[in-house]
Amino acid sequence: MENNKNTFENSEITVTFAPKKCINADKCAKGLSEVFRTTVLPWIDLEAASTQKIITQINKCPSGALEFCHKQIEAPVT
């Protein structure tokens, strides 16, 4: 799901992309091309791989342009 041009979400995490920080090293597109796509908009598809794989790839971003945070999981109402 996309709610803003540079903010992307799945059920577990929110990912942000800061274009001004990106140094175009292409590490994300080469490392996890099904999520970080160079020819399709929106260019990030968080449904295309597991959250753990996405986090691992984001942690390899050399510029810090990609960041993520975990969503709060609400406790079930009892």
Whether the CB-CB separation of 22 and 29 falls below 8 Å is answered with: no
Q: Is 26 in the site for ligand SF4 (CB under 6 A)?
A: yes
65 binds ligand SF4 (CB under 6 A): yes
Q: 6 to 25, contacts with ligand SF4 by CB under 6 A?
A: 22-25
Per CB under 6 A, 46 contacts ligand SF4: no
d(CA 25, CA 22): 8
Distance CA 50, CA 10 (A): 10
Contact residues: ligand SF4, CB under 6 A: 22-28, 61-63, 65-66
